[in-house]
Amino acid sequence: MADSVRDIHFSAPDGLQLYGRLYQPEVKTDNLPVVCLPGLTRNSRDFHELALYLSQHPQTPRPVITFDYRGRGRSAYDPDWSHYNIGVEAGDVIAGLAHLQIHQAVFLGTSRGGLITHILAAIAPQLLAGVILNDIGPEISVEGLQQIGSYLNGARQPRNWNDAAELQHQVHGAYFPALTSEDWQRFARAIYREDNGIIRSDYDPNLLKTMENIDYTQKLPDLWAQFDLMKDLPLLVIRGENTKLLAQEIVEEMQRRHNSLQVFNVSGQGHAPLLETGRIPDLIAAFAAGVDLRE
């Protein structure tokens, strides 16, 4: 199985060195790849179990590509923190796919990854064969973004891996009662890295500067115009029932604008659902197989 997972190293348009992973099926297939884009401070490890499942699926195996954005995971930190924005990151994704010679895929975006997918719909629509949005839409709630900013700015450094899992449970447990102790351990391993015995958050601390000047008293900018560009694509929305970021009325407006949009509500989880849990992997595999048939 390890031979089917390959590290990707490529250059961003501005020369910054970036990282991703390619999960290859063990059999030759023409099925479309799935490209996984993580949340604000997250990285490719969020998708590891799901990527293994999809790439080795018994009926519809397919390549899966996961990316670490600049300043996250194993990608280089940008000396100019203002480059940590969804426009630049969308360009980085395009560069990564060009490096792999991938011309079209199903895109799976968690939170910020879904916002980046909206940008790709505007600047590189030919890449998108289908879209899965994990707890994100073209409009996000002020309350949800404020909640994210609050726990990121108030986070303490864990003492060890058990403490890291417990810390995440303390912060998020009320919104994720469905998760097991094993889920919290895996969650922590995706968020943190270990350097010389010290457990650290796996992103550039300067990333938090991008949230310093947000006016939470005002409505946030939206991406409805970009969402409308996806109206002819197969589209699935996965929503945590306890999310504060993706309001139900926004999902209903998305359904009004996109008649064939599918919605899956995940019980016992908030923002954002863990995609390797419960029925979600089968749901994603079935959705991607439907996109294959449409092609």
User: Can you give the residue ranges of every domain in the chain?
Assistant: 2-294
What CA–CA distance (Å, rounded) separates 289 from 195?
40
Provide the pLDDT confidence category of residue 2 given band limits of 50, 70 and 90: low
CA dihedral of residues 169, 171, 175, 177 (deg, nearest 10): 20
pLDDT in tens, 183-230: 999 999 999 999 999 999 999 999 999 999 888 888 889 999 999 999
Percentage of the chain modeled with pLDDT above 90: 89
How far is it, in rounded angstroms, from Cα 173 to Cα 194?
A: 23
Cβ-proximal residues to 288 (8 Å cutoff; 6+ apart), any chain: 31, 32, 34, 54, 60, 62, 106, 130
Residue type at 79 in one-letter notation: P
Question: Residue holding tokens 């990608």?
Answer: 75
Neighbours of 58 (CB within 10 A): 6
Residues in CB range of 91: below 8 A, 6 or more apart: 12, 13
Q: How confident is the model at residue 1 (pLDDT cuts 50, 70, 90)?
A: very low
Architecture of domain 2-294: 3-Layer(aba) Sandwich (3.40)
Which of the 8 DSSP states describes residue 166?
H
* Whether the bond into 51 is cis, omega within 30 of 0: no
DSSP H helices, the chain, are 48-55, 86-100, 112-123, 142-153, 161-172, 181-191, 224-228, 248-257, 280-294
Q: Could you read off the pLDDT of 221-254 as tens digits, one per residue?
A: 999 999 999 999 999 999 999 999 999 999 999 9
Q: Would you say residue 40 has pLDDT above 50?
A: yes
pLDDT, mean of residues 140-169: 90
Angstrom distance (rounded) from CA 74 to CA 292: 31
User: In this model, does residue 170 exceed pLDDT 70?
Assistant: yes
For the stretch 276-285, pLDDT in tens is 999 999 999 9
Q: To which residue do tokens 């923002």 refer?
A: 271
- Is the pTM for the entire model greater than 0.95? yes
pLDDT interval class at 293 (50, 70, 90): confident
